[in-house]
Each structure stands twice: as structure tokens, then as C-alpha cells.
Amino acid sequence: QSQFVESGGGLVQPGGSLRLSCVASGINFHHYGTGWFRQAPGKEREWVSCISRNSGVTNFADSVKGRFAISRDDAKKTVYLEMNRLKPEDTARYYCAADIVSDEDECGMTSYPYTFWGQGTQVTVSE
């Protein structure tokens, strides 16, 4: 089965940090850009960040810009989301997926080009 498996979530205090990992299984990882999304209870899924296939382009939602970083390790078929200065409003379930449409120097900022969704990892930011 082709999918991603996310990990690294947990409970953290405001201002803290977490590093999420997303490992590809059964996917030609180096062929695709990769994106992170999140969904809080009662809200729609929200795009957070993406990285292009060649790692040359990264994009971030305004709500996380300057606090989050994204990277990828093709040898490990893994994409990372480094989250710093976390806020309670960052609380959500975080998902990654592959962008199967964009060129090697682009990555999608909507759900449209993404597939191979994982099950997600929960991030809770609270005192």
C-alpha cells in the first residue's frame, strides 16, 4: 500500500518546539514534492507547508511563516516539519502527502495535487 506514515506529534507548551517526520512507504518519494496539512476539530483541512521535488522551493502558510521549517531526505524517503514557537492555535492533526502534479521546482499550496495521505499525527499546544 502506498502511503505516508507521520510521527513526532505530542503535547507541548506554548512557545515549545516539535519535529514531525513523515516516511514514505511504497512511493517513489524522489519523484514528488511533499506537503504538510493540518486539521483542527470542527475545521477544514488547512495547507501548512510544502517542499518541491528538488528541495529548491519551500512555501509556508502565513500563519506559520517564520516559525516552521520543512526539509526532506530522499535517501530516507522522509520529509520533516520543524515547528518552533508553537501556539495553541497550532493544535491540530498534521498530515503529509505527495504532490503528484507540480514540476520539480514547484509545490502545491492547495489540496488539489496531493495524494497518498497518511493517518496523521496529533499536535496539542497547551499549558
Q: Average of pLDDT values for 41-59?
A: 95
* pLDDT on residue 2: 82
Question: Please, are residues 60 and 122 in contact by the beta-carbon 8 Å criterion?
Answer: no
pLDDT of residue 36 exceeding 90, the answer is yes
Compute CA distances 4 → 12, 80, 106, 116, whole Å. Answer: 24, 12, 20, 6
pLDDT of residue 1 exceeding 90, the answer is no
Split at pLDDT 50, 70, 90, the class of 91 is very high
In the chain, what percentage of residues exceed pLDDT 90?
94
SS3 101: coil
Q: Average of pLDDT values for 4-16?
A: 97
Tell me the three cell numbers of residue 61.
502558510
Task: Name the CA dihedral angle for 115, 1, 96, 111, rounded to a multiple of 10 degrees.
Answer: 10
